[in-house]
Amino acid sequence: MAITVGYRFRPTDKELVTHYLFNKLFAQTGPFNDLESFLVKEGDLYGSLDPWDIWRIYGGDNLKDDRPLYFFTRVKKVSANSSRICRRVGSGTWVGEASGEKILSGNEVVGFKKRFHYENQESPDDDGAWIMHEFTINPSLLRHQNDIVLCQMKKNPVAEKKKRKLKQLNNISDEPCMSSKRFKLVEPPLPVPISVQQQQAELPSCRWFKSCNRPKPNLWMQY
């Protein structure tokens, strides 16, 4: 779907709850226009797909500036008789970081926002690489319990930066320490044979030797 140039989808937490999530739960038919349906998709963030597969399938690779994806999804209980929510996703798990924060409309608490990060023991490099915020409506405003929530999912920019840095370091460590083109071993030159004439030329003359070895005259004997 084509989106107008310059358009940015940056809803506030309050807008996500009071407009999108409330209308999803309580509107009779067609609560959203085509653009809104495109921006907040129907997806299973607690299913068999890993976060990177969800991101790729729903067009996350086309987003810029660390923008998130938005989904309506259903939470699932650990068992029929349990009140605990199963946070499994693909081969990993969504792990909660805090009890959540209140979302206010005036003085009224209309919903809650809770932050999760992805953990996967089979893929340590992906630990913390994905962040999800789960938005729920205040249960006191519901007549019946509902399992539909709104989720915001995005890449963790800190983890992405760390992963790129590690990749660069690995590439540097894989490079050879010495290049055969830059460093070349040179053999020492062989000794040049010296001819007999060169040897005689380098020796002092015989006349010099005779003058040096000639005995000095005995002046005492002359007198």
Q: What is the pLDDT of residues 55-104, one digit of tens each?
A: 999 999 988 878 999 999 999 999 888 889 999 999 999 999 988 999 99
Task: List Cα–Cα distances, 128 to 118, 132, 161, 163, 218, in angstroms.
Answer: 5, 10, 12, 11, 108
pTM for the whole structure? 0.71
The count of structural domains within the chain is: 1
Please state whether beta strands 40-42 and 69-74 pair in parallel, antiparallel, or not at all (unpaired).
Answer: parallel
pLDDT over 60 (residue 219) = no
Asked whether residue 131 is assigned to any structural domain, the reply reads yes
CATH number of the domain enclosing 74: 2.170.150.80
User: Which range of residues forms the domain containing residue 46?
Assistant: 33-158
> Has residue 151 got a pLDDT over 70?
yes
**H-assigned helices in 46-189:** 51-57, 157-174
What percent of the chain is predicted at pLDDT more than 90?
A: 52
Would residue 21 count as lying in a domain? Answer: no
pLDDT at residue 209 in the model = 45
Residue 189 in this model has a pLDDT that exceeds 80: no
- 141 in any annotated domain: yes
Is 139 inside any structural domain? yes
In a domain, 52, yes or no: yes
Neighbours of 145 (CB within 10 A): 7
pLDDT tens digits along 93-122: 999 998 899 999 999 999 999 999 999 988
Structure tokens at 108: 């009224």
Give the DSSP per-residue string, 23-48: HHHH-SS--S-HHHHHHEEE--TTSS
- How many whole angstroms separate alpha carbon 203 and alpha carbon 35? 103
* 3 state SS of 174: helix
The overall average pLDDT reported for the chain is 82
